[in-house]
Amino acid sequence: MRHDARRPVIALLSSRLGDIGGTETHILQVTEGLRDEFNFYVLALCSDRMRQQLEARGASVVEMPGAGQLDLGSIRRYHRFFTGYHIDIVHTQDARTSITGRIAGRLAGKPVIHTYHISPLHYQTTRLRRILYHIGEALLNLLITDMSVFVSQNTQQLYTRRGLARPQKTRIIRNGVALDDYAPNAQRRAIWRQRLGIHPGTLLLGSVGQLVPLKGYDLLLEAAALLPDTVPGWRLAVAGSGPMHPTLEQIARQKGLEDKVQFLGYVPHEDIPGFLNACDLFVHPSYAETGPYTVMEAQAASLPCIMTEVGDSHFLVPHGVKGFVVPPGDARALTGAIENLLSDADLRMRMIASVREDIGELSIQIMLDKIKNLYQSLL
């Protein structure tokens, strides 16, 4: 890929980029939205589809051997690349490359940024791993990193409170979405509801995410099974793929939900607006998040949302105003929130109006402007 030699060069590092996920969405947005300002190299193992999308946006994709491995060889390979390709800024995007990439960037004399799309604090499973992570992250942020970027205020406060980052070396840059792409569209709604077999008068609950334990879809099925028979006609559709797909379908059958629930598998990102337009409300049952794109995309589609109390949940979904926030792992609370929205049309309409009032806060342009300003401040 030929780059404009007059533009600063940014290296975006991630261990692996698949077809769906918050990190993938973010990198696609940045490489497209700032392509006229910067040249981008994406250093990651990419799916074929992701590679094609990145290259269509003018980014160069480089598959580094041993991407994400925590060894001296990875540091040397990154260092050679940063110096040989005249990288101006190193910007790491996940926990694995954040270690070797940041060290290599500092050794190469480059400004170093790390973005926390999700905090490893959420899934350190043993006391020893938590201690090692705290020590390593404190050293990386205090001695090596020029700026730590958090996509949620909740996570930024957690890291600064624990001494893992200095407040003056952090920025909050929330994720953003292309609002016009998700705006309600009657034609798309009709096409997708017909495709999904949703009859007039049936309320469709939607969710989008990877089918992995952290996303809480087992909890959502448990909550759906607890809905009383008095709740008006409803269906649930989940867009996303992952290793839990067969298990979740089995759980749905065991709970007698096979006629109520559809797992759609992988849905291309360009089709997500149509899917969301077909829905009447959105549910995000995750056990851990920072600033989930899927909730913002649902709000851009004017959907009231139910999400668990994780990350910036109260910023995105003020409880009782734009939807409901429930404790993670609490199936009965999730059932109650779903029942309230399914049973009360006036409440749904009031929440839809509230979502629409300040939707501009979620604009992708706000996010891109802040990232552009950050890059320029470090050059």
Look at residue 2 in the predicted model and tell me its pLDDT: 62
Stretch among 24-38, 109-123, 304-318 having the lowest mean pLDDT: 109-123
Residue 174 confidence (pLDDT): 94
Q: What is the pLDDT of residue 351?
A: 97
pLDDT at 313: 86
Amino acid at 240: G
Residue whose tokens read 């980052």: 165
For helices 22-33 and 364-378, what crossing angle results, to 10°? 70
Give me the mean pLDDT over the 274-299 stretch: 94
Mean pLDDT on 120-128: 72
Query: Domains in the chain and their CATH numbers?
Result: 9-176+363-378 (3.40.50.2000), 179-361 (3.40.50.2000)
Q: Which of 216-220, 291-295, 330-334, 375-379 has the lowest mean pLDDT?
A: 291-295
DSSP strand pairing (234-239 vs 305-308): unpaired
- Mean pLDDT, all residues of the chain: 93
pLDDT digits (tens, 9 = 90+) for 129-152: 888 888 889 999 989 999 999 999
Listed in sequence order, the residues at least 6 apart from 348 whose beta carbon sits closer than 8 Å to its beta carbon are: 280, 281, 304, 341
Label residue 274 by pLDDT band (50, 70, 90): very high
| pLDDT over 70 at 304, yes or no | yes
Does residue 354 carry a pLDDT above 60? yes
Q: Are 263 and 239 in contact (CB under 8 A)?
A: no
CA distance linking residue 274 with residue 268, whole number of Å = 11
Both ends of the chain: CA-CA distance in Å? 23
Q: What's the pLDDT at 328?
A: 93
- Name the DSSP class of 62: E
In this predicted structure, the answer to whether residue 357 has a pLDDT above a threshold of 80 is yes
Tell whether the model's pLDDT for residue 34 goes beyond 90: yes
CA distance linking residue 301 with residue 294, whole number of Å? 11
One-letter amino acid for residue 128 of the chain? L
Strand partners, 10: 40, 89
Q: What is the mean pLDDT of residues 69-78?
A: 89
Asked if the model's pLDDT at residue 123 lies above 80, the reply is: no
pLDDT at site 199: 92
Residue 159 contacts residue 150 (beta carbons within 8 Å): yes
Q: What angle do CA 371, 375, 376 make, to 5 degrees?
A: 115
Answer whether residue 235 shows pLDDT above 70.
yes
C-alpha distances in Å from residue 372, one per residue of 120, 124, 155: 26, 32, 22
Select from 344, 346, 345, 286 the least CA-distant residue to 317.
Answer: 286
Question: Cα(187)–Cα(277) distance, rounded to whole angstroms?
Answer: 9
In this prediction, residue 125 carries a pLDDT of 66
Whether the per-residue pLDDT at 124 is higher than 70: the answer is no
How confident is the model over 253-262, as pLDDT tens digits?
A: 999 999 999 9
Share of the chain above pLDDT 90, in %: 79
Tens-digit pLDDT profile for residues 178-212: 999 999 999 999 999 999 999 999 999 999 999 99
Cα torsion 49, 47, 245, 192 to 10°: value is -10
Q: What is the dihedral of CA 277, 282, 287, 293, to 10 degrees?
A: 40
